[in-house]
């Protein structure tokens, strides 16, 4: 449809070899995700020279955490300085990069994330969250910045009102210490479960089964899991950081909370009103369909690619 051929290399997972190097040399343009991580990986291959235009897309950690670290910021600038374009998910992300690197202002593009959530077609079994109520689902990779037990004490207190409350975390293991904590709590508490990373096509059903989808991250770029849940008309409740606030309008399309206690208060009020729940779910669905279209995201990136190719080859 777009006349574009794309090859994807997972630079932190796959092994760089002669075949990938051949693709690298033939490509007309490059697009790398995450500034710091890409810069660190690229330093391992000093023989590679980028002689074609390239685009960078920042992650939440790039703009919210790494820019605070002088060494990390310098590493990021080593790739950002020669880039043709840098894409961010929100105006807040752009502002933070411009504050750190004013000279990059003219090459920063704000492109909101879209939602792609395929249906489950496999014969494999999707995790069943059961019939408990309420069911809280936290999709998150296990690492410190996700702060997966931020709400633990309040969820424990909420069980006094809802003894069948269920809390489930789903996501990959990215930090062994967090993983150990998760497994220990799962062993000690029957109302808490951990599900390792599942294929994307199974997430639609997991969202459907849950009553409220959570995000407890210390910082975020723009959380795809919250957008996915909203695209299905689900209730979402998220920690009030710039990334979550860029897609959730508090008490309109979901809930934003500044503390665990405030989370408890807001969720209690919400679950007492079926009318309010229906209102939030409807508005969340309308919002995602309007502002996070896959077609619009693709077109926006194609515009950036076209601009950079014309600039490089004119």
CB 93 within 8 A of CB 110: yes
Q: How many CA atoms lie within 13 A of 169 on its CB side?
A: 26
Please tell me whether the overall predicted TM-score, pTM, comes out greater than 0.75 for this model.
Answer: yes
The CATH code belonging to domain 135-291 is 3.40.50.2000
Domain 135-291 in the same topology as domain 18-113+293-313: yes
Peptide bond into 134 cis (omega under 30): yes
Domain boundaries, the chain: 18-113+293-313, 135-291
Q: Which residue has the tokens 């070899």?
A: 17
- Residues 44-87 pLDDT 10s: 988 888 999 999 998 777 777 777 788 878 878 888 888 999 99
Instruction: State how far the Cα of 170 lies from the Cα of 311, in Å rounded to an integer.
Output: 43
Question: What is the fold of 18-113+293-313?
Answer: Rossmann fold (3.40.50)
Report the Cα 221 to chain-centroid distance in Å. 7
- Residues 217-238 pLDDT 10s: 998 888 999 999 999 999 999 9
Report residues of the chain scoring pLDDT below 70.
1-2, 120-126
């Amino acid at each position: 449809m777009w006349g574009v051929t794309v090859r994807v290399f997972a630079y932190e997972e796959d092994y760089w070899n002669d075949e990938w190097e051949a693709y690298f040399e033939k490509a007309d343009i490059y697009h790398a995700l995450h500034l710091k991580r890409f810069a660190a990986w690229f330093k391992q291959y000093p023989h590679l020279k980028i002689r074609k235009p390239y685009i960078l897309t920042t992650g939440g950690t790039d703009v919210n955490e790494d820019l605070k670290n002088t060494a990390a910021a310098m590493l990021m600038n080593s790739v950002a300085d020669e880039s043709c374009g840098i894409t961010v998910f929100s105006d807040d992300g752009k502002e933070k990069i411009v504050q750190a690197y004013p000279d990059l202002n003219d090459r920063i593009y704000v492109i909101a994330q879209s939602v792609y959530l395929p249906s489950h077609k496999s014969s494999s079994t999707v995790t069943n969250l059961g019939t408990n109520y309420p069911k809280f689902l936290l999709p998150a990779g296990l690492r410190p910045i996700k702060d997966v037990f931020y709400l633990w004490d309040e969820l424990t207190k909420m069980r006094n009102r809802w003894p069948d409350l269920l809390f489930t975390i789903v996501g990959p293991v990215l930090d062994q210490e967090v993983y150990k904590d998760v497994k220990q709590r799962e062993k000690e508490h029957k109302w808490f479960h951990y599900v390792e990373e599942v294929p994307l096509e199974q997430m639609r059903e997991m969202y459907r089964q849950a009553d409220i989808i959570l995000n407890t991250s210390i910082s975020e770029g723009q959380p795809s899991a919250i957008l996915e849940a909203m695209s299905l008309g689900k209730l979402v409740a998220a920690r009030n950081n710039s990334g979550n606030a860029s897609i959730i309008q508090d008490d309109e399309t979901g809930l934003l909370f500044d503390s665990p206690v405030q989370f408890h208060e807001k969720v209690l009020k919400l679950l007492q009103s079926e009318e309010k729940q229906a209102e939030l779910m409807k508005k969340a669905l309308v919002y995602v369909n309007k502002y996070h279209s896959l077609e619009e995201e693709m077109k926006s990136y194609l515009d950036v690619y076209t601009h950079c190719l014309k600039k490089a080859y004119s």
